[in-house]
Chain A
Amino acid sequence: MKFGVVVFPGSNCDKDMIYVLKEILKQEVVELWHKDTDLQGVDFVVLPGGFSYGDYLRSGAIARFSPIMEKVVDFANQGGYVMGICNGFQVLCEAGLLPGTLKHNNSQTFICKNVWLKPASNDMALTANLDTNKAYQIPIAHGEGHYFADDATLAELKSNNQIIAYYSNSNAEVLDSANPNGSVNSIAGVCNAGKNVFGMMPHPERAADENLGNIDGRAFFESLLKNLVPA
């Protein structure tokens, strides 16, 4: 699998993502500059975390119109795999590739801590090999991570198994008290109807190296690699 990690001005998790894909998962990785218009033949595009374009206007609102994103949108619409983490998730929502949007955390503060995630289903490559009765410890670091979608969209997400994971406690119980940012239905991430575009606020790439003392995030990447269908 050849991965392309997009670098926007203000991206700051691009190097972590490249490190995990290349050094831990032994995949081929190229960087895709935001001004480029060539996806270099990658099989999978990753939009990393950070503060693209300084989060001006709204998180992801300006990045969504960068030259590379036009190609990413075409690629996704043709069934290509795309994953956005944190700011990358915000960009995908702004681009209309994922339903819903991300609002300011209910607390109005930036939250940087470990949270627990309960996978919602095994119905997509990203979660196919995860245990839906287990909580995975993954860090979050965001100010605008409150997932919001209207009731009709939420019902659709649920019935199509498009929810990646819920915020939970360490026993995989989805409770309001374990919801860090006010996300509707405790949703931490969603995919599109075609199940080829994924977005989540938590950072699995920050929990994939043994040296960091937590490799719960690696399971997400391993599930992806096992279950991706090459184009």
Chain B
Amino acid sequence: MTFTAEIDIMPQKALLDPQGKAVSSSMTNIGLAEISGVRIGKHISLQVEAASEEAAKAKVEEACKKLLANQITESFEFVIAQN
């Protein structure tokens, strides 16, 4: 079975996200001072072959931990669905 995973990788909440902060402050420049708290991460989608949804989740989890996210500074979450 083929599954698609949609993965979000975000800077950990406790850490300063300078990119998000810069974008946040430019909201005022476009007249949207009501918007704040911008945080910027990455979205990754991928396909995984697995015998079950459980097995597919385990593989995506391993990919996130080993390669896709740096857990010192980033957290990740994902949703998975069969194609």
Contact = CB atoms under 8 A, between A and B. Distances in A.
A103 B15 CA distance: 11
B18 A101 contact: no
A149 interface: yes
A210 interface: no
A65 B67 contact: yes
A100 B19 contact: no
A174 to B, nearest CB: 20
Interface residues of A, number: 18
Given A106-B18, A108-B18, A108-B19, A101 B72 contact: yes
Contact of A101 (B19, B67, B68, B73): B73
A103 B67 contact: no
A190 to B, nearest CB: 13
Contacts of B16: 106
Given A104-B19, A108-B18, A108-B19, A57 B73 contact: no
Interface of B: 15-16, 18-19, 22, 67-68, 70, 72-73
10 contacts: A58-B70, A94-B70, A101-B70, A101-B73, A103-B15, A103-B73, A106-B16, A106-B18, A107-B18, A182-B18
